[in-house]
Structure 1
Amino acid sequence: MIKHFLLFEFKSFIRSASVGKSVALKLFLVFIALYLSLSLLGLGVFLYKILETTFPEQNPFHVVQQFIGIWFVVELMLRFFVQTLPVIDIKSFLTQNIKKKTIIHYVLIKSVFSFYNLIGLFIAVPFAVIAYSKQSVSGGEATAWILSIIALVLIINYTNFLIKKSFTAHLRKFGFLMSLVVIAIGLEYFNIFSSSYYIGELMLLVVQNPALVLVFFGFAGLLYFLNYQFLKANLYLDSLIKAKESNVETTDLNWTRKFGSIAPFIQLDLKLIWRNKRPRATLMMSVIFLAYGLIFYTNPAYNEMPAFFVFIGIFVTGIFVINFGQFIPSWDSNYFSLIHAQNIPLKKYLESKVALLTFSAIVLGLASIPYVYFGWNVLWINLACALYNIGVNVLVILYSGSFNKKKIDLEKSPFMNYQGAGAAQWLVGFPLLLVPILIWYVIYKITNQETATIGLGAIGILFLFLRNYFIKKIVLGYQKRKYATLQGFKQQEN
C-alpha cells in the first residue's frame, strides 16, 4: 500500500498545472540544501575548536549542552513557520478498502524523511566525532549523545506536527502555548529560571547513563501515538464537510466608497479578512509582529549593525504586504474564474489589492512611530522602509502573484494554514527583504547613514509615481498566465 501512496503522489506531481515551475524550483532547492548541508557540516567540524577558543577553561563538550535547549526552541519555531507538513488527498482513499491506520502511519512516517530532520545531525555528528578524537568523551558516550540528538529531532518533528494539526486549530490553545514559550524565554533572559541549564544537565546525565536514551525515544513514541490518535479521531469525511453558517454578520463599509471604482473590490477583501479565520489570523499576526523590533532595539550589540535595522523596518511595516500579498490571487481562487467571466477590468481588481496593501503599510508605519524611543535614526529608517514597501514591494508582491496557481480553501485549517503555500512563497521574501538592505548598505558605505535612509525612501517615492505604468505591465502578466492560473485553481492541492 505504501508503494501505491508513493505512486499516487508522483502522478499528482507530474500532472500538476505547475509541474514545470515545481521542477525548476525543486532543483534550486536541492542546490540550496546541498549548500546548507556543507555549511552545517563545516560548522560541526569547527564547532569544537570555536568553543575551545571561546571558553578556554571549560570542556567544549560540556559547553555545547547548555545550548541544546535554545537549539530545541529555535528549531521548533523555525519548523512551525517554515516547514510544510506532509499531506495526501485523503477523500479518495476514505471511500476505498484501505485501513485508516495505514494512511495515518504513512503520513506520520513520511514526516521523518524531511531535510529539516537532518539540520541538527549535520552539526551534532561531526562535533561528537571531533570530541571523541580529542578524548573529551568516550566512544560509548559520543554514541549515546548522538542517539539522544536523534531522539530530540524526532521529538521536535512530532511536536511540530501536533501543534500544527491540533493546537493551531484553536486560537485560545495556541495563544496559551505561545504564552508559555514567551514566559520561559523571559525567565531565561532575566536569569530567574534557566531551563537551558537543566536541559544541559539532563543531556550530560544521558551521556553518563546511556540507557536513559530509551526515555527520549519513548517520549518521541508517545508524541507519535498522540499524533496518531488525533489524526484517527479526525479522519472522517464528515470532518471534511463544514455546515453552512446560518448567522450572517453585516458591517457598514460605506467609508470605502471614497476609493471610487475599486471600492467594491476593497469591500470584498475586507469582508474576506473579517469573515474567514485564516486571513484574519494573518491580520492578527501583522499586529503582533509590530513588537518584533523590541527583540533587537533593546540589544546594544545591534547598534554596530545599522543595516539590520533596515531588515526590521521592512519586516515590521511590510509584514501584512508579505503575508497577505504572497497569496494574491489565491485568496479569491473560489471565484477567480467568475472575475474573468464578467465585465470586470483586471486592472481595477489589481488596483484594489494595491490599495489594500498600501493602506496596511501606512498604518503599520504610523504604528511603528513609538520606536523613536530608541533613537531618531530608528524612526527615520522605519518610515523610509514604509515608503519602500509602498512604492516597490507592493508591486513586487503583486507581480509574483501572477505565477500563483495553488488554490486556497478558506474553510480549511483556520490558523497557520499552509495550504496554497510552497517554497515559492517563502523565496519571494528574499528580494522583498534583502534588496532594500543591499540598497541601503551600498549608499551607506559610499556616503553616510542619513543619506542612505533618505535614498531608500526616495526610491519608494519614485516607484510610487511610476506605479500606474508598472501596474499596466503586471496586468499583462496576469492576462498572459490567466488560463494556467484558472486551471491550477481547479485542482485540489494535495
Structure 2
Amino acid sequence: MMLFNELRKHGKLAAKRHPMYDKNRFGKYLMIAMSIFWAGYLVFFGMTFAFALDTESMEPYHLLNSGLIFVLAIDFIMRFPFQKTPTQEVKPYLLLPVKRNKIIDFLLIRSGLDTFNLFWLFLFVPFAIITLPKYFGIMGVVSYSIGIWLLMVFNNYWFLLCRTLISERIWWIILPVVVYGGIAAAIFIPKESLLGDFFVNLGEGYIEGNLLFFGGTLLAILVMWVINRKIMSALAYSELNKTEDTKVKHLSEYKFLDKYGEVGEYMRLELKLLLRNKACKHGLRMVLLVTVGFSLVLSFSDIYDGVFMTNFIAIYNFAIFGLLFLSTVMSYEGNYIDGLMSRKESILSLLRAKYYLYSIGILIPLVLMIPAIVMGKIAILMAVSWAIFSIGFIYFALFQLVVYNTKTVSLNAKIGVRQNSGTGLQNLVSFATLGLPILLYFVLKSIFNETVSLYILLVIGIGFIATSRIWITNVYNRFMKRRYKNMEGFRDSRE
C-alpha cells in the first residue's frame, strides 16, 4: 500500500511539473463542463426510462436490464476517444528494486478506480431510485448500483485489453468485431434471445444482492485483470528494450518527389515520418479504419440519413486526417527540431510540404464516399464542397497551431510513456473545426437553399486554397518570432 501511495504521489507531481500543465488547464475545465452537461442528460434519461418503461407486461428494471449489453457496447465505443490506456513512466522504476508487476498492478488499480467507470450511474441510479424501492427497498438500489459499477469495471478492463492489442497490431480489431458481431447474432437471429434473458437475470441478481452473481462478476474482472497484467508487462518490457527499432521491412526513397526540390524533400520526410514510426502508423490505421467504417455505414445503412448526421459524417471523414496530425503539427518534429532550425527557411518548406501532402490525402475519403454518392445518400456537390472546404478553411485553422504547439509527441513509445491530453487550444480548435462548419452550413441553408449553401462553402474553400502560400508564410513568420520559446518547450517535453 505504501508503494501504491508513493506511485500515486509521483504521478501527481509529474503532471504538475510537466511544462504543459498550465496549458492543459483550459482543456481540463472544458472536459469537466462537458461531463456535467452529459451527466445531466443521463439523469434525465434515467428518470424518463423509469416512467416510459412502466408497462403491465414487465417491470421497468426488467426491460432496462435486457438492454444492458447495448449499454456495455456503447460504453466500450465511448472509451476510445475519452480514455487512454493507463500508462506510467516505467523506465525509472526499473532501475530501482521494485518489481515491474507491482507497477503494472498500480496502473490497473488506477484504471479500475477511474471516475469514468462511475459515469453510467447517472443513468442507473435515478432509474433505480424511482423503480426499485417499492419492491426491494433502499438496499435494492444500493446493491443494483454496485452491480452496475462492477460491470463497468469489467468493461474497462475488456476495453483496456482490446485497446492495448490494437495499439500493437491493428489486426486485433478483429477481436471486438467478432465478439460484438457474435452478440448481435445471438440477440437478433433467434426468436427468443438467451442473452437478453441472461442480462435480465443478472440485473435482478444485483438487485436482490445475490452473491453468486456478484461473485461471477468479480471472477470475470479478475480474469481480465490477469490477462491485462501479462500483456502490459510483456509489451512494456519489449518497448523499453527497443526490440523492434532495427526491423525495417521496406525501404523507399520516394524518388518521384525529387523534381519538387526542397518542398519535395520535406514531403519525403513527412511520408517517412508517417509510415515508419509506430505511433504515426497506428494513427494512420485508426483514421483509415474510422473513415472506411463511417463511409460504409453512410452508404449501406439508414442510421445516418438525417440532414445533420449526413453532413457531419461527410465533414468528419474529410477532416479526421488533419485533426489527428495537424492538431499536433510540429509536435512530432519536436523530437528533432534543432536539426530543422539549422537551415534557413526549412520550416517554411516543411509547412508547405505538409499542406500539399495532407491536401492530396483528402482524395482517400473522397474515393471512399463514392458508394454513398452512387447509392444516392449524398450528392456529388456535397462531397466535393466539404472536401474543398476541409483543405481550405479547416486546414487553415489547424495550421495556426504551428505557432502555439510547444509539446513534443513521442514517435514510437506507447506503454512506457505518460500519455497527456492535448492543450486547451488544441482541444478548442479541434472542436471548432468540426462544429463551426456544420453551424455555418445550417445558417447558410436557413438563408439560401441547400445548393447555394454548398456552393458558398466551395467558394470559401477555394479562396483559402488560392491564398495558401500567403497564410502559410504568415504562420511561418509568427512561428519564427517565438521560435526560442517553442524550442524550449519541445526540449523540455521530450521523453
Cα distance in structure 1, aligned partners of 2:106 and 2:263: 47
Residue of structure 2 equivalent to 1:148: 147
Q: Choose between structure 1 and 2 for higher RCO, CA contacts under 8 A separated by at least 6 residues.
A: 2
Deviations 1:268-314 (A, max 9, x none): 111222222332333333333234133245444644x3122111111
C-alpha distance in 2 between matches for 1:241 and 1:301: 44
Which runs of 5 or more residues in structure 2 are unaligned? none
- Whether the 8 Å CA contact 1:317–1:368 is kept in 2: the answer is no
Residues 141 and 210, structure 1, Cα contact 8 Å, conserved in 2: no
Per-residue deviation, residues 44-70 of structure 1 (Å, max 9, x unmatched): 233312434xx6754321221232111
Tell me the distance in 2 between the aligned counterparts of 1:428 and 1:418.
23
Distance 1:183 1:176 in 2: 10
CA distance in 1, matches of 2:105, 2:329: 35
* Residue aligned with 2:89, SS: coil
- One-letter amino acid of the structure 2 residue matched with residue 62 of structure 1: H
Give 1:84-123 correspondences, 5 Å limit.
Answer: 84-123=84-123
Q: Aligned partners of 2:198, 2:494: CA distance in 1, in Å?
A: 40
Q: 1:430-459, CA deviations, whole angstroms, 9 ceiling, x for partnerless residues?
A: 112111111111111222222222222222
Matched residues in 2 for 1:413 and 1:302: separation?
Answer: 34
Q: Distance in 2 between matches of 1:464 and 1:182?
A: 43
Corresponding letter in the other structure for 1:40: L
Residue of structure 2 equivalent to 1:161: 160
Question: RMSD between aligned alpha carbons?
Answer: 3.0
For residues 191 and 450 of structure 1, the distance between their equivalents in structure 2, rounded to whole angstroms, comes to 43
Give the SS at the match of 2:53. Answer: helix
CA pair 246-67 structure 1, distance change in 2 beyond 3 A: closer
Instruction: Give the share of equivalent positions with the same residue, in percent.
Output: 21
Q: Answer whether contact 1:131 1:137 (CA < 8 A) is retained.
A: no
Residues of 1 paired with 2:19 and 2:58: CA distance? 57
Secondary structure (helix, strand or coil) at the match of 1:411 reads coil
Q: Which residue of 1 aligns with 2:13?
A: 11
**TM-score w.r.t. structure 1 length?**
0.88
- SS of the equivalent of 2:335 reads coil
**Structure 1 segments unaligned to the other structure (5+ residues):** none
Aligned position for 1:410 = 411
2:132 counterpart letter in structure 1: Y
* Count of residues in Structure 1 that have an aligned counterpart in Structure 2: 487
The one-letter code matched in structure 2 to 1:313 is: A
Instruction: Verify the 8 A CA contact 2:310 2:378 in the aligned structure 1.
Output: no
**2:321 aligns to what?**
320
> More displaced, 456-465 or 375-384?
375-384
Which whole-Å CA distance do the structure 1 matches of 2:343 and 2:327 have between them? Answer: 25
The 10-residue stretch of structure 1 (457-466 or 200-209) with the greater mean CA deviation from structure 2: 200-209
The alignment status of 1:386 with 2:384, answered yes or no, reads no
Q: What residue number does 1:35 align with?
A: 37
2:199 pairs with 1:200: yes
Deviating more after overlay: 249-258 vs 447-456: 249-258
Write out per-residue CA displacement over residues 254-274 of structure 1, whole angstroms, 9 at most, x where no aligned residue.
222354431000011112222
Pick the aligned partner of 2:51 from 38, 49, 52: 49
Counterparts of 2:288 and 2:29, CA distance in 1: 36
1:219 counterpart residue number: 220
Post-superposition offset of 1:114: 2.5
1:149 Cα deviation (Å)? 0.7
Cα shift at 1:83: 0.8
Which residue of the partner structure matches residue 182 of structure 2? 184
Partner residue, 2:296:
294
- 1:171 maps to what in 2? 170
Distance between the aligned counterparts of 2:69 and 2:78, measured in 1?
A: 14
Separation of aligned partners in 2, 1:302 and 1:233: 41
Contact 1:48 1:130 survives alignment (8 Å): yes
- Quote the offset at 1:252 in angstroms: 4.7
